[in-house]
Structure 1
Amino acid sequence: MQSTTPTVFVNSSREGIARAKAGNYAYMMESSMLEYYMARDCQLQAIGGLLDSKGYGIALPKGSPLRHLLSQTVLQLQERTILEALKMKWWKDKSGEL
């Protein structure tokens, strides 16, 4: 016997956002993408807080000579708040553009 209740799962973030906007549905997504979409769509809002906190990484071949250089460069960009400025440029300054 198959259920007539629609599934709570979606195939994409766009589908999840559309269902949330239609009502009676909450969509969970990664916080950076949520900030991006909320900055461009005033019908969206976040509720609650972060479930956890994770960083990002750059994949390189094992033993790559670029590992140390990339690690140092990312740290410098963080310390100089350049990464935050880029996030503001692409997440906040582009609000309204989807």
Structure 2
Amino acid sequence: MDRNQIKKALAEKGYDFSMLAEVMERSPSLVSKVAARQARSRLIANAIAKVLDTDIRDIFPDVVEYHHPKATSNSEREQRKEQLAKLLKDK
């Protein structure tokens, strides 16, 4: 989806960029820039996907870094680091 399609889909649900920005305590400009691919924010991209009840990959198919889950907790991050260290040590 491009910026205008995202804007239209949000409007169909009764929302706009400024409402999303206010609730997320971010600037409307940043929300607009993320939708237009002029800035990156996984947090905002995920919020847009959640509001539109659509997979983030369908909204942002061109932003590959949004397609992979991010470790959300410190324990998950530590586990991933341990796996990475083991992988690199074994090679």
Return the structure number with greater helix share.
2
Structure with the greater alpha carbon radius of gyration: 1
Query: TM-score w.r.t. structure 1 length?
Result: 0.22
Query: TM-score w.r.t. structure 2 length?
Result: 0.23
Say which structure, 1 or 2, has more relative contact order (CA 8 Å, 6+ apart).
1
